[in-house]
Amino acid sequence: SPLGLGDALPIAAAHGRGINHMLQEALGIFPKDNAEEEGEGEPASEEVAEGEEPTRIPGPSEKDGIKIAIIGRPNVGKSTLINTLLGEERVIAFDMPGTTRDAIEIDFERDGRKYTLIDTAGLRKRGKVFEAIEKFSVIKTLQAIEASNVVLLMIDAQAEVSEQDAHIAGFVLETGRAVVVAINKWDGLDSDQRERIEREFQRKLRFLGFARMHTISALKGQGVKPLLKSVNAAHAAAFAKLS
C-alpha cells in the first residue's frame, strides 16, 4: 500500500459487497473465547443422509415470535408508538425529526404472544440524503424491513402523503412482507382534514388497498389495540399453509 497501511479491501458499502470479508479480516485479530476454541473442528451441523436436502438457515419464523419493523418518515411517531405498546418510556422520542439513528430491537409479550419491535431511523427524501449518517440510517431501515415478519408503515395525518411514503411502501411490497398501515396523529384533525388524508391515501397509496389501515394516536394510545390485532392477523396470513 502506498500509504504503508497494508492491503486495501475493495468493498461496496451501499450494496454490501465485500463486507463479510472485511469484517472477518477486522475481527480476526481478536482472541477467540473458550467456548469457540472448544468447538473448533466440530461440524457446524448434523450430517445429511444421502438423498436428503441439507438444512437451510431460515429467516424470521413463526417460532421466533412476530418481528415488527416500524417504519416511516422522521417525526411520524414511531418511537412514541413503541413506548405506548410497552407501557414505559424505553425509546428516546423528541420533537426533533430523526432522533433515532440506529435500529433498536425490543422484545415484549402481550396476551401470551411474543413480539420484537424494530424501531428505525426515519427515511428521508433521497434528494436530502447527503451525510454518511443519513445514508447509514436508510440502510438500517431497509435491513429492518428484510428482517421482519410484518411491516407497520406509519403515516403522519397532519402532513401530506408524500412520494417518499409511496417509495417506502413500494420497497416493502418488493420484499414480500406483510403490511399494516397506521395513520398517526389522527386525533388532531377535523372532519374535513380527515376526509382529505383518506382521499390522499386512496390516490397515492392505492396499491396498499389490501393492507389493513388504522387511524391512531400513538401519544394517547388511541386505536393501538386494534392495530396489534391486525399485525397478528397479517402475520397469520403470511404463515398460512395452503393445500
Average pLDDT estimate for 52-72: 62
123 pLDDT band, cuts 50/70/90, is: low
pLDDT score of 132 more than 70:
no
pLDDT score of 82 more than 80:
yes
pLDDT of 206 reads: 85
Higher pLDDT, 195 or 63: 195
Cell numbers representing residue 74 in the block: 422522521
CA–CA gap between residue 147 and residue 96 (Å, rounded):
27
For residues 60 and 101, is the Cβ–Cβ distance under 8 A? no
Cell numbers representing residue 221 in the block: 394510545
Residues 6 or more apart whose Cβ sits within 8 Å of residue 194: 157, 186, 215
Average pLDDT over the chain reads 75
CA–CA gap between residue 187 and residue 196 (Å, rounded):
14
Cell numbers representing residue 236 in the block: 397469520
55 pLDDT band, cuts 50/70/90, is: very low
2 pLDDT band, cuts 50/70/90, is: low
pLDDT of 137 reads: 59
> Distance between alpha carbon 183 and the CA centroid of its chain, in Å?
17
pLDDT of 129 reads: 45
Q: What confidence tens digit (pLDDT) does each residue in 175-221 have?
A: 888 999 999 999 988 889 899 888 888 888 888 888 999 999 999 99
Give the strand pairing for 150-156 and 104-110.
unpaired
Higher pLDDT, 13 or 243: 13
- Which position has the grid cell 430491537? 105
103 pLDDT band, cuts 50/70/90, is: low
pLDDT of 53 reads: 41
pLDDT of 179 reads: 92
What are the start-end ranges of the E strands in 104-177?
Answer: 104-110, 113-119, 150-156
* The model scores a pTM over 0.85: no
Cell numbers representing residue 154 in the block: 406509519
